[in-house]
Amino acid sequence: MVSIRIGKSRISGTLRCPSSKSYTHRAIAIASLAKGKSIINMPLISRDTIATLSASSALGVKINQQKSRLIVEGKHTLDTPENIINAENSGTTIRIFTVMAALVKRGFTVLTGDASLRKRPMQPALDALTQLGVVCYSTRINGLAPLLIKGGGIQGGKVRIDGNISSQFLSSLLISTIYAKSPVSIRVGRRQVSKPYISSTIATMEKFGVTIDYKKDFLEYYVQNKKYSPTEFHVPADFSTAALLLAAGVLAGGSITLKGLSFSLPQADSKILEILKDMNAEISVNKKRGEATVTGSKILEGGSFDLTDTPDLLPVLSILALKARSPVKVTGIAHARLKETDRVANIASQIKKFGATVVEEEDQLLIIAPQVIKNSSIQTFNDHRLFMAFVIASLLTEKSEVEGAESIDVSYPNFLLDLIQLGAKISFQ
């Protein structure tokens, strides 16, 4: 793995926030199912979204990639792929296209991914498709990829799915079941985690002309047979990325201003604005101009934070805790153990190296900041969000080393270059 060295830094300046990975995935998938030409403006091009582009192309969708937009020639009936669909490290890709593969006219689709993705649960998607009349299997009969999906369409009917692992299973059903042969009724069992991501899916569907009926508690959905209409979609800036950059400003600023933020579409990780205010960080937001500015804080307030709906904020909140005057308790994070890595355990193990006291439980972390933040040699387990978070934390140390730089192309390929532009002292091994 590629390691970098970080020295104590004070960063400042202005950046335009990269586009949303989550909305890019959804826009590509839905445009692929909208017969005709759609234009996706300002998509994020990263390893994960390239996996989604490749998956759409494998199903016969024509995509023309230009500098700052994608032109997608969608279709209602998908082609049988000539080869295996490799979702690489992208959980969103494999979950969306597992359901989309059932819309292939005939034949079978095989989906797989890298070693990490082949450990992430897929059984809820397989169970849901089986209830909807689709023949599908885990080739290893263990609920994990590789997966085999028989084409021929989705019959429709009633389906029950658990929502406690990921919202991606439900989003995948919503995106594709509008083309089922009869209406689909979805009931979510247990609790539904990451509900704002479902709102993102529904909002994107609406941009392509499809609305669905659902209960406000996000536990019941009724999907009628409809068709997407091709459209022009503008991908908003990514609050998951913004959260990291705002945390960098709070911990190691100076003053950092993020431009290009969008508040018109729902994004789970916009909750970072509320969290920073609760922690008494200096932050100002201008929604009309799409800007947020933070100033470095010598000390932050602690508190208790529930991340049931925002698991990707766990790495961000964990590093903010390094400057908190009182303990930071993070709850609602059991499903973060099923991300690219077990983020709960891995964060606990590495944040201790900075001198923090950490108490780990199944669904929560308690982090007590150290008196002095220690120099560290940090592992990131090839997890892009852990790498970015720990690089930011290392800006507070005299000299630290973080491995796993190659992981950032999953979601934010220019992360290190942008930090260096802001004044971070970073060197490559």
CATH number belonging to the domain at 21-234, selected among 3.40.1400.10, 3.20.20.70, 3.20.20.80, 3.65.10.10: 3.65.10.10
| 3-18+237-428 shares its CATH topology with 21-234 | yes
**How crowded is the C-beta side of 45, counted as CA atoms within 13 Å?**
10
152-185 pLDDT, tens per residue? Answer: 999 999 999 999 999 999 999 999 999 999 999 9
Q: What is the pLDDT of residue 429?
A: 74
Q: Which residues contact 389 (CB under 8 A, 6 or more apart)?
A: 244, 247, 315, 316, 318, 319, 347
pLDDT below 70 — which residues of the chain?
none
Question: What does pTM read for this prediction?
Answer: 0.95
Of these residues, 238, 269, 309, 312, which one is catalytic? 312
Q: What is the pLDDT of residue 324?
A: 97
User: What is the C-alpha to C-alpha distance for residues 9 and 427, in angstroms, rounded to an integer?
Assistant: 12
The answer to whether 79 and 59 are in contact (CB under 8 A) is yes
Omega cis (within 30) before 146: yes
What residue segments make up the domains of the chain, in order of their start? 3-18+237-428, 21-234
Class of the domain covering 3-18+237-428: alpha beta
Q: What is the pLDDT of residue 75?
A: 95
Q: What is the pLDDT of residue 289?
A: 94
Q: What is the pLDDT of residue 67?
A: 86
* Residue 114 falls in the annotated catalytic set: no
Q: Which residues contact 417 (CB under 8 A, 6 or more apart)?
A: none
388-400 pLDDT, tens per residue? Answer: 999 999 999 999 9
